[in-house]
Structure 1
Amino acid sequence: MHLKAVKPTDQPHSGPDPKPQQKPGATPRKASPPHEDRLARLATFTTNLRMVSLNLLLLIGACLVGAVMWKLVFARETLIENIYVPEAFAKIGYSSDAFQSFVAGHLIALEERAADVIPASAKEEIKLDSDMPDFSVPGTSISAKTILQYVREALPLPVSTISGSVTGTPDHYVLHLVLVERGQVYRFATPEGAIADLEKNLSNLSLDVLKKHSPYIYASYQSAEAQARCYAGKGACDFSESERVFSSIVDAGDGQPNYKWALLALSKIDEAYHDYKGEIKAVSRLSAEYPSSWSFYNWGVALSEMGCNKMAISAFERSIALHSSRESAFNAIGRAWLALARQAPERHSTGAKIDLQNARDDFRIAVYLKPDYQEAHVNLAESLKLLDDVNGARREYVSAIEMDPTHAGLAYARYAELFGDQKERNELLGFANWADNLHKECRATNSTSLLEASGCSIAMQTETSPVVNTLGHAGIETVATTVAPAQDCRGLAVDDRLASEEGLPDFAESAP
């Protein structure tokens, strides 16, 4: 038998493909085990994940830095810069930094006092120059503070600077301040005096600076001071200075930064004077030009004080439509429903019951939005009491008293009506008298809204719903059976003064 030699390439193919042949002289390669391939892929994935995470962190960091820089550049603020001080002052503790802090402290105190009557968004920030960021920009020798200064000088930004110097000796010194803003330079100085008079002189100087720097905040400060004197009954109410400055801002036109706030402030001055028609005139103008939750809220308060409660409800509904989370508007509309229920000829009528239920529901929303809203808890308790939910009313009165007993005169007096025992009633009314005496604004000449907001039991004298027992105790009358009639409400409603398309902007929130 003849056998033929068969070359490898001539062999019949069966099974898997043969492995590729190595080139002559090549080093044979060993196949990687499966677990090493998985480790290699895992390492590559981990590296890529780290790079993505690092890039994401860098992006977030850049966004945060950009946001901070944007805020620093465009924030409305006043910078207190270096104040030169002679060596003799520094030796006794009155250094340059100390004078910077003194000036900043007095300006901040004035603004905080003004904040009692102005919205937070109308405030300005006062900073020391030393508080500004002073780090170097990476890759350069330029500091962030220098960049901020250049940008602010190049752009018309709402940033003001105050610098100054001290001349003389500690026994006869003068503090000079220079205010620079919007390209204008203003100079101020204290009268010559001893360093012991610094506090008084600096207070007057700071007020002069504020008057020029921010007429709106200056007028708000004057309004807060006049308001305190007015509510406390220390002489006739006099808002002439704040009214003059607010009016000058309004008369200058809506191009002024605080035009809208000044118009709103004038309406509050009318309210303090009990000129509710004047208040409605101011807020109706504001509502037509710049509709806001606060303008309609003030409109509703004025109508409520006049006894025009149905119209007040419509105004408060506009306020809520523009700011659905304003708890004071829900409390106010609840008060209007409560007043309507008390004015009903029959308390147990269907109409009165519906009004009370509406009041209860609105008070509950106010409490939900602000759990520590003491006035709303008192009003909620009253609505529950009139709906014969005595246990619910008791809980709300107790909650209100526990929040702040010193402002719980109204809560004490209303709570007393739930007790049949005369001794217990007298004890609670005594507490009400004690709480009222702590606050000078608890005077019958003040508006009902102010009295209720201050927790004054004397607010109960404006109610029309008589109670069987009207026992007075320590000057407090639980309920008065007479009340001034409602004023003429014709032509004062929102619908009377605004067209249907006015007063409702295209978006849910509008400044102020």
Structure 2
Amino acid sequence: MDQHAHFTHRVYRPVSRRRLSEHTNYQGEGQARAAAQNLHVDNVLAAAMLRAIRQANSIAEPGSEPACTSRFQKYWLSVRRLATRGVDWMDKAQKIVIAMIVLAVAVFGFIYGYMGWRPVTIIDAIATPDDFGKKGFTAATTQRKFEENLTAILDSASSVMPTEIHEQMQEGGQQDVHLEIPGAGISLQETLAAAKALFNRDGRISAEMVVEGNTLVLSGRAMRPGGATKPFQATSPTDSIDEVIAKGAAAALSIYSPYVLASATLDKAQKACDKGACSFDAAKSDFQHMLESDSADDRKFAPWAHLGLSKIAEDEADYQNEIEHARAATQLSPHFSWANYNWAVALEHLQCFPQAEEKYREVVKYNDRYAAGHNSLGRLILASAEAAPAPAQLERSSLATRTERAHEAEVQFLAATSRDPQYSEAFVNYGVALLLQERYAQALKALRRATVIDPEHAGRAFSKIAVVADIRKQPDMAAVARKKAELADKHNASCRSNDAPSERALHGCSDLPPITGSESTMVRISAKPHFDAVDCQKLGADN
């Protein structure tokens, strides 16, 4: 027995229970160990059984990994882990890319649908007599000239209409978003075109030109987006083809968009008044026609028609009538900033300054983007500060009030210049407000900015620069500024006189900006006497 035990220990070296527990955590290994001991199985056989069980468990559980016995195996396992993570990351990235593509397609589809859904005006081919082809007028050229006349009317109206009206007209489906001639524009998808046709989203103008004796007649039909079709007609002598096309475009637009046509008529009258021939009867008639129309589309633009009439009254220096139309516009459209602005201008002309300031405050409250509203309010506040006696004659409390009002005006001028960085008048007023607060360096900077923006009409800016130079004891600079102010004032005076158009062009007055604020754009008669406090309260009342 002793010899046998010694032989077993020396040759086979049985594996201890502790080493078995260190090399494995599997319950099957423990069972195999117990069985081998109980049945006296050789240690070699037990070791083989343990290896087989480990291999079987490794295959049965993919998440488990065999122990690493070499550096190469460790590197290989690290590579496998990285490859697995890379595959997972690529799978996630692919899903993200697909989601982004789907989102981009959806956004593009929405934008395309929105743009395509907006109303357009389609101009059909205009039938033209065959013998007009010798004069260069075919159906295509007549159609093109008709479109050009419509576009010219739209451009003219845009110079008079406030920016805000464009958005409102698009929402109302009455504004020509763009003019599309069949075969010359980009066609929409058939489904979108069918949907627009179903809801009458697009407008359409069709016409033909015929000769009746010595008269050339252009007759057609105009259909508003979402509205009914109405006929129009224009006539001229047979040798005036361009004239009948222009008249036809205006006649079509009188049905398609009366407000646009009335605005274009007002723009034409204002330009003629600049040249000394003031007559607003045609524009009045167009706006009044809108107010008397039974069309629901025309009634939507009634506030804007009253606004146009109030502007005409201002040009004619009829400030009470201007107030009446502005009041009517605000009754139809509460907080109508453009009407309140005209109302304030009229009150200012009538020297109802507290009421004018109140209206200007309403303008900037409900239309903060309007730079002219901020400038006009600031200018009115600044006028009250400038009207105070010189600082040496003021008491301490009055001087503080003057400075406070000047600072309040400064805030409005800053708002105006931030919304319109090329607003030269606002920069001049800003410099004056700083001058009253004795902030001379900043005032000089603002005034010089105004002269850079509009050097030809900077007489007031140069005169204020001279004042600053005097205060800062710079006589040479003051003399130069006064000379420039004198030249600019003479230039402005010659431009605003009733010279002939050729003389105005010779003087370089074509780019003379309109006067804003307390002066009307084209007033030709003197302002009426101001009213007393009771009358001003009535004129400023909403009802």
1:268 counterpart = 2:311: yes
1:508 counterpart residue number: none
1:107 counterpart residue number: 150
Post-superposition shift, 1:491?
A: 5.8
Post-superposition shift, 1:102?
A: 1.5
Alignment of 1:352-501 (within 5 A): 352-412=402-462, 414-415=464-465, 425-439=482-496, 454=514, 486-490=530-534, 492=536, 497-498=541-542
| 1:82 equivalent among 122, 125, 139 | 125
Post-superposition shift, 1:132?
A: 4.3
Q: CA offsets, 1:381-405, max 9 Å, x none?
A: 2323344444433333322122123
Post-superposition shift, 1:331?
A: 0.3
Is the 1:367–1:376 contact (alpha carbons within 8 Å) kept by the matching residues of 2? yes
Post-superposition shift, 1:345?
A: 5.0
2:55 counterpart residue number: 19
For 1:267, the aligned partner's letter is S
Is the 1:416–1:429 contact (alpha carbons within 8 Å) kept by the matching residues of 2? no
1:49 counterpart residue number: 93
Alignment of 1:106-125 (within 5 A): 106-123=149-166, 124=175, 125=177
Post-superposition shift, 1:162?
A: 1.6
More helix per residue: 2
Is the 2:234–2:247 contact (alpha carbons within 8 Å) kept by the matching residues of 1? no
1:126 counterpart residue number: 178
Is the 1:394–1:415 contact (alpha carbons within 8 Å) kept by the matching residues of 2? yes
Is the 1:436–1:456 contact (alpha carbons within 8 Å) kept by the matching residues of 2? no
Q: CA–CA distance in 2 between the matches of 1:335 and 1:85?
A: 57
Q: CA–CA distance in 2 between the matches of 1:92 and 1:241?
A: 33
| 1:312 equivalent among 352, 356, 367 | 356
Q: CA–CA distance in 1 between the matches of 2:372 and 2:146?
A: 36
| 1:246 equivalent among 287, 310, 329 | 287
Alignment of 1:327-366 (within 5 A): 327-344=371-388, 348=394, 349-350=398-399, 351-366=401-416
2:115 counterpart residue number: 71
1:160 counterpart = 2:203: yes
Alignment of 1:179-190 (within 5 A): 179-181=222-224, 182-190=227-235
Post-superposition shift, 1:301?
A: 1.9
1:322 counterpart residue number: 366
Distance 1:484 1:152, change over 3 A: closer
Q: CA offsets, 1:169-223, max 9 Å, x none?
A: 9x997655432332313143443524xx433332222222222221111111121
Post-superposition shift, 1:332?
A: 0.7
User: Mean alpha-carbon deviation: is it higher for 30-39 or for 46-55?
Assistant: 30-39
Distance 1:423 1:34, change over 3 A: closer
Q: CA offsets, 1:398-419, max 9 Å, x none?
A: 2212212344344345545556
Alignment of 1:22-41 (within 5 A): 33-41=77-85
1:299 counterpart = 2:356: no
Q: CA offsets, 1:11-69, max 9 Å, x none?
A: 7999997121799xxxxx99984423432442343244233323323323332332332
Is the 2:307–2:329 contact (alpha carbons within 8 Å) kept by the matching residues of 1? yes
Is the 1:378–1:400 contact (alpha carbons within 8 Å) kept by the matching residues of 2? yes
2:14 counterpart residue number: none
SS at structure 1 position matched to 2:300: coil
Q: CA–CA distance in 1 between the matches of 2:159 and 2:261?
A: 13
For 1:428, the aligned partner's letter is A
Give the RMSD, CA atoms, in angstroms.
Answer: 4.1
Q: CA–CA distance in 1 between the matches of 2:137 and 2:50?
A: 102
2:29 counterpart residue number: none
For 1:274, the aligned partner's letter is A
Post-superposition shift, 1:87?
A: 6.6
Is the 1:279–1:299 contact (alpha carbons within 8 Å) kept by the matching residues of 2? yes
Is the 1:309–1:337 contact (alpha carbons within 8 Å) kept by the matching residues of 2? no
User: Mean alpha-carbon deviation: is it higher for 326-335 or for 113-122?
Assistant: 113-122
Q: CA–CA distance in 2 between the matches of 1:11 and 1:275?
A: 117
Distance 1:87 1:19, change over 3 A: farther
Q: CA–CA distance in 1 between the matches of 2:316 and 2:250?
A: 25
SS at structure 1 position matched to 2:124: strand
Distance 1:457 1:363, change over 3 A: closer
SS at structure 1 position matched to 2:534: coil
2:509 counterpart residue number: none
Unpaired runs of 5+ in structure 1? 24-28, 135-142, 443-451, 461-482, 500-512
Q: CA–CA distance in 2 between the matches of 1:314 and 1:10?
A: 105
Post-superposition shift, 1:366?
A: 1.2
Is the 1:114–1:218 contact (alpha carbons within 8 Å) kept by the matching residues of 2? yes
SS at structure 2 position matched to 1:454: coil
1:218 counterpart = 2:261: yes
Identity percentage over the alignment?
A: 21
For 1:191, the aligned partner's letter is S
Is the 1:250–1:262 contact (alpha carbons within 8 Å) kept by the matching residues of 2? yes
Q: CA offsets, 1:75-98, max 9 Å, x none?
A: 3x3222333456766677545443
Q: CA–CA distance in 2 between the matches of 1:177 and 1:410?
A: 54
Is the 2:217–2:233 contact (alpha carbons within 8 Å) kept by the matching residues of 1? no
- Matched length: 447
For 1:318, the aligned partner's letter is E
Is the 1:293–1:323 contact (alpha carbons within 8 Å) kept by the matching residues of 2? yes
Post-superposition shift, 1:441?
A: 8.2
Q: CA–CA distance in 2 between the matches of 1:121 and 1:68?
A: 24
Post-superposition shift, 1:374?
A: 1.1
Post-superposition shift, 1:155?
A: 1.3
Q: CA–CA distance in 2 between the matches of 1:12 and 1:5?
A: 11
Unpaired runs of 5+ in structure 2? 9-39, 60-64, 67-72, 167-174, 500-511, 521-526
Q: CA–CA distance in 1 between the matches of 2:337 and 2:518?
A: 29
Q: CA–CA distance in 2 between the matches of 1:50 and 1:97?
A: 53
2:106 counterpart residue number: 62
SS at structure 2 position matched to 1:49: helix
Post-superposition shift, 1:457?
A: 13
For 2:532, the aligned partner's letter is D
Post-superposition shift, 1:373?
A: 0.8
TM-score (norm 2): 0.70
Post-superposition shift, 1:328?
A: 1.3
